[in-house]
Structure 1
């Protein structure tokens, strides 16, 4: 049980570090909803196929809010990171960025790509928690 909790905490730290790389400000409510969505998707990628029916309701219950507010807050966090985030990080993750004239990714694309990146990095041992961002987490 303690090992599972520690692994979940480590995954959460990795997600947070990667979200910082994407330029998502931690003061946004959507930051926390998005982190929760990615954490759930890392453990069950099928949730990404039905974000409005499966993922948002779980988050809404957990945070005692509505699924509409969850969706809107995540969309806002995605928009803010798309506008303010490092285009190179987006280019690496999505294959495009705002600088290429591409539209911003949808909430489900954003959640799926981050979750997939975290899962793949876990198999290779790549870490996003660095000395620089460790103090921010």
Structure 2
């Protein structure tokens, strides 16, 4: 793993833990891999089902459906049990806790944006 990818990986892992996605759930690994991949190639966000989920599914030798479900579950766990102030610091006013959690694509895209911005500093 080169230094740039390692820095992204560590940054994403820290963000996921900060907002409340525990490392022991399968979706944690899926969402981390998806975010790191999208940080390196933002074009993957254009159609996450046909590109990003497939890439993650191949890496983990699982189905696209399992990847989508695992990521959705990870987001649901963060929304139900995560640190609200940490979530707010990442997502700002783009989400409202009483309304609904973000979609998988919204969540991944927002984290990618945060990580890419942090890497520019």
TM-score by length of 1: 0.83
Deviation at 1:10, TM superposition (A): 1.6
Aligned to 1:18: 15
Task: Measure the CA separation in 1 of the matches of 2:99 and 2:90.
Answer: 14
RMSD of aligned Cα (Å): 1.2
Task: Measure the CA separation in 1 of the matches of 2:20 and 2:4.
Answer: 24
Aligned to 1:89: 86
| Counterpart pick for 1:102 among 99, 102, 109 | 99
Task: Measure the CA separation in 2 of the matches of 1:119 and 1:14.
Answer: 10
Deviation at 1:102, TM superposition (A): 2.4
Deviation at 1:55, TM superposition (A): 0.4
Deviation beyond 4 Å, 4+ runs, structure 1? none
Aligned to 1:35: 32
| Counterpart pick for 2:76 among 75, 79, 102 | 79
Whether contact under 8 Å (1:90, 1:97) holds in the other structure is no
Aligned to 2:43: 46
Aligned to 2:58: 61
Aligned to 1:130: none
Aligned to 1:113: 110
TM-score by length of 2: 0.93
Whether contact under 8 Å (1:88, 1:97) holds in the other structure is no
Instruction: Report how many residues are paired.
Output: 119
Structure 2 gap segments, 5+ residues each: none
Structure 1 gap segments, 5+ residues each: 125-137
Deviation at 1:28, TM superposition (A): 0.5
Whether contact under 8 Å (1:24, 1:31) holds in the other structure is yes
Task: Measure the CA separation in 1 of the matches of 2:50 and 2:10.
Answer: 27
